[in-house]
Chain A
Amino acid sequence: MSERLIDLHVLRYNPETDTEPHWQQYAVPYNEEWVVLDALNYVKAHLDPTLAYRWSCHMAVCGSCGMMVNGEPTLSCKSFIRDLPGTIRVEALAHFPIERDLVTVVEDFMAKLARVKPYLIAKEPRTVEQGEYRQTPAQLERYHQYSQCINCMLCYAACPEYGLIPKFIGPAAIALAHRYNQDSRDGGREARQQEVATDEGVWECTFVGACSEVCPKHVDPAAALQQVKIASTLDWFREHSMPWLSK
């Protein structure tokens, strides 16, 4: 009985031994329950221990295993090989420098996350003894979707603007800023707008919407970007047309 095989092509790059990335082919058994990550783990365990990639949870929540699968930004732990053609091409996430094989350099993303002040800046500070803030289910709903981001960076790999203009803060970081801006407990929008409502921020976005299409958690960063644009336009009007409304 001949075993069905899949053709797995992986873009390899080791900065110590390679001058440029090159494709390597592996024949991996077909298993209809497997995701692409399982195929990579098979390679690592049985065919080639030198293959490098990041992964941990295998349940689409740790955000480690984002990569390009047949040209699409994808969580490899959620991409079933049964849904893919017999030849699968896997490469490092686009728009990020390759550190090695499927491992990218992500410092730029980490720095951008930190820049948008993604933490609660309390509108009315409270001590622990005063107990929790009240927040109704409706108030929770206003930001809940934007709190679901797993930092997998697929949206950066999908975003044509980030590809062209690396200083663009990008979808996930802006969505995260918006998440805190929309939180009824927060009073930090002004501080965040200085980072977000700039030409490195939302005004760089041309609303292609690719970020929301690839998001595995339905965060819809494109919607967050549009809402930030609208809010900062209103800010501008307040300041320029109706100065008596500003504080």
Chain B
Amino acid sequence: MGLDIRLPIGMLFTIFGIMLIVFGLFSNPALYAQSLGININLAWGIVLLVFGAIMLFLGARSMFFSSRPAATPDPEGREPRH
């Protein structure tokens, strides 16, 4: 199929990561009594962002390398890289 699933996954996790990081930075610290005093939004937001960026990178790289004859989406040309 002409859509590399890593791109939407990467995008979604990048968006979630950024949202949680920003929210974690500006939210009331009292909120985190519930999560054992850990700013879980900030911490987990960073993890999500890193994961999202890796997926975006992998997806973009395979798009760049394999879809040069982009006019016809060719399922055979996109062997998975791992």
- Tell me if chain B binds chain A: no
